[in-house]
Structure 1
Amino acid sequence: MAEELIFYTNPQSRGRIVRWMLEEVGVPYETKVLEYGTTMKSPEYLSINPMGKVPAIVHGGRVVTECAAICAYLADVLPEAGLLPQTLDEKANYYRWLFFAAGPLESVLNNRAVFKEEPEVEKQRMLGYGNFRDTLNALSVAVKANPYIAGDRFTAADVYVGSHIGWGLQFGTMESREEFIRYFDRLRERPAFTRAMSLDDVQAKEISEG
């Protein structure tokens, strides 16, 4: 991919998901670390992402925001990385669980972290995830069915889904079910994951030390 790729992030953000994806596809990229409340809300960055949030990428002048979209985009424009589903069965699982994680899973984990309690039963039908238990049970089905989310092969969907599971286990927002632990242990052994975490940890330390 000869076109310039710029990665806007903060190591204490969902940018860690995109960093991992970038290391998986293995192309050169420029990293621009933004700070909360200052450069993240600057006119320059708001012209890229009007939400004033990271991560975002600019690839050949084209802007992509939202972690799931960035993962899917990079897999699509870099098919040689081998992170796309190949069969119809893989495609069904890939899209199903990628968007499940971007919708019900992220919503329920965030709401649980902020509000602590489940919504009242009569209000659950209004929510895309319904309730915490049903969402985790559905995710259990996904990680029990195959070694990876789409099947027997690692794909871009594993970067996104796996990141949420990893954070949920780390911060206690997700039950430590055996199937979640086994699945994430499989992912964390990937060299790209190790490189990405190391790069972000170094940048986080630099920020904390001023």
Structure 2
Amino acid sequence: MAPIGSLYTVDAQSKGKMIRSVVALAGQEVELLPFEFGVTNKSSEFLSKFPLGKIPAYQHANGFKLYEGNAIARYLAGLYPNTGLLGGTPEEAALVDQWMHVVETEADTYDTWISFLVRGLVPYNKPIELNFYERLERCLAVLESHISTRTFFVGERITLADLSVASVLSKAVAQTVDASRRPKYPNLMRHLDTIANQPKLKAVFGQVNYIDKAIQYTPPAKEKKEKAPAPPKAEKKPKKEEEEEEEEPAVPAEPKVKNPLDDLPKSTFNLEDWKRAYSNKDTRGADGAIEWFYQNFDSTGFSVWRVDFKYNEELTLTFMSSNQITGYFNRLEASRKYLFGSVGVLGENNNSIISGTLILRGQDAEPVVNVAPDWESYEYKKLDLSKEEDKQFFEAALAWDLEVSGKKWADGKNFK
């Protein structure tokens, strides 16, 4: 049997497993192409077909190309209507879409982000991990309640909803839904077992890995410091000599390291006054903060910059992106006296960017922002406020009504 098309995916990807399940239930085969993150999806050949560089990515035998897991699964299910995977009525089709969306945006998203946190792929934060577990378990509780009186999620036979739920759960029970959590969801576990053991799906799901203990964050090992050799014992001195030397310090104080930014020529612009004006005045208006800025700004001592996150394709939920800005600002703490920032998330969940403006000491951004370990994850462009385009960007970022490429301001943070 000739494959109906070719698919880029990886074993751990729940969406890839769902797509392969559709193909298996249709009695067809799909060619699985070799894929390596950061290599395959950066190649010109891959990007010419799938410009966002995302997987799963599918090319049909007739040349039709498609990416995004749910879209691929629906397309393939539509080619084989006898499978009944899309539901038998408009109501069932809507319910299939509903459960696919729920499990993707809730269960799969939070299971994935917990994995990113504990594996160190993003900066670890215990409260955020606990919050993600709460959201994951809230979704699982809803799924558990629904399936408790049913064999399948929609109707009396397997649909895409079941394949989506089971594919995500098979990943979750292998990393976050451990032995202590699984007893809360007996019907979900029964459903997973039912789907994974369908004769046509056994080869897709394989042996489901039920872990005993959820993956845990392990702090990086601290480097061992070599012990300094013990100082030689001082010879016993006459009492009178000891009294004479008592006032001298035993160890000279280390000189304070001076920040090179402090050596820049004095500026008439007071950054602290600006921060107070921005905090206490309306942003726009005749007596607003922006007008105050233009009246007092000294371009010889300070400069204005646009800052953009370089990896917007990795952003998912907007509140997570907002937390990322907070983390970036926290890591800039050592430059607080030299810097002001207004940066926001623009767009919506799974389609957003991070952008904003910085006001900083001097004419070069790097000496101010390089105190943050992740400063190179952002692109910095100096703004010329005599140019209308740069001026409008700057003012909109301050006023939190910035719009870039149709993406509107969703949430913002200030560094003051």
Contact 1:7 1:56 in 2 (8 A): yes
> For the residues of structure 2 that align with 1:24 and 1:120, how far apart are their CA atoms?
37
> For the residues of structure 2 that align with 1:12 and 1:168, how far apart are their CA atoms?
10
> For the residues of structure 2 that align with 1:7 and 1:105, how far apart are their CA atoms?
24
> For the residues of structure 1 that align with 2:153 and 2:163, how far apart are their CA atoms?
10
Structure 1 residues 51 and 145 mapped into 2: Cα distance closer, same or farther (>3 Å)?
A: farther
Deviations 1:174-202 (A, max 9, x none): 6312122111111111122212246xxxx
Partner amino acid, structure 2, of 1:48: K
How far did residue 141 of structure 1 move? 2.3
Structure 1 vs Structure 2 CA RMSD? 2.9
Is 1:194 matched up with 2:202? Answer: yes
> For the residues of structure 2 that align with 1:29 and 1:155, how far apart are their CA atoms?
19
How far did residue 119 of structure 1 move? 4.4
Partner of 1:38: 39
> For the residues of structure 1 that align with 2:135 and 2:155, how far apart are their CA atoms?
26
3-state secondary structure, aligned to 2:147: helix
> For the residues of structure 1 that align with 2:50 and 2:177, how far apart are their CA atoms?
28
Q: After superposing the two structures, state which structure 1 stretch, 144-153 or 86-95, moved more.
A: 86-95
How far did residue 88 of structure 1 move? 4.4
Partner of 2:56: 55
Is 1:83 matched up with 2:85? Answer: yes
More helix, by proportion: 1
How far did residue 150 of structure 1 move? 0.8
> For the residues of structure 1 that align with 2:81 and 2:31, how far apart are their CA atoms?
21
How far did residue 6 of structure 1 move? 1.8
How far did residue 114 of structure 1 move? 3.0
Deviations 1:154-185 (A, max 9, x none): 11221111111121112234631212211111
How far did residue 17 of structure 1 move? 2.9
How far did residue 4 of structure 1 move? 4.9
Partner amino acid, structure 2, of 1:107: T
Structure 1 residues 9 and 92 mapped into 2: Cα distance closer, same or farther (>3 Å)?
A: closer
Partner of 1:164: 168
Contact 1:57 1:63 in 2 (8 A): yes
> For the residues of structure 2 that align with 1:91 and 1:32, how far apart are their CA atoms?
31
Q: After superposing the two structures, state which structure 1 stretch, 87-96 or 2-11, moved more.
A: 2-11
Partner of 2:281: none
TM-score by length of 1: 0.77
Partner of 1:146: 150
Partner amino acid, structure 1, of 2:187: E
Is 1:134 matched up with 2:138? Answer: yes
Structure 1 residues 56 and 145 mapped into 2: Cα distance closer, same or farther (>3 Å)?
A: farther
Query: What is the total number of aligned residue pairs between the two structures?
Result: 192
Partner amino acid, structure 1, of 2:138: D
Identity of aligned pairs, percent?
26
Structure 1 residues 74 and 115 mapped into 2: Cα distance closer, same or farther (>3 Å)?
A: same
> For the residues of structure 1 that align with 2:46 and 2:52, how far apart are their CA atoms?
9
